[in-house]
Amino acid sequence: MRLPVDFQNDKTLRDAFSYLTRIGVGVRFGGRPIGWYQAHQCAAIDALEEDSRPYGPGEIKTTGGEIFFIPDSGGCKFLGSVKRFFDIANNRARS
């Protein structure tokens, strides 16, 4: 998933939601009321963008339940676990 996410582009946003659900950071569509689903997904994107912002634009990669950020400038930065970002999004969506 590419960061930052363009919230004005429906395809980009749909792809980001699908990716987050696939890796376990986001919830499945239909599993929750639509407003909570959208709030959770957007909160997850915000949390990932906040943690990766110091490194500039780049890609999110996930392996073994861990999330890494690959900046366009090179290198690899560990951001945290899938569970950590799920919990952050869950707390933000409920508050």
Answer whether 68's CB lies under 8 Å from 62's CB.
Answer: yes
Considering Cα of 57, then 8, then 25, then 90, what sign does the dihedral take?
A: positive
Residue 53: phi and psi, rounded to 5, are -50, -40
Residue 27 has pLDDT above 90, yes or no: no
Q: How confident is the model at residue 16 (pLDDT cuts 50, 70, 90)?
A: very high
Residue 82 pLDDT level (bands cut at 50, 70, 90): very high
Mean pLDDT confidence for 11-19:
94
Going by C-beta distance under 8 Å and a sequence separation of 6 or more, which residues neighbour residue 65? 24, 81, 82, 83
Q: Hey, what are 24's tokens?
A: 């376990």
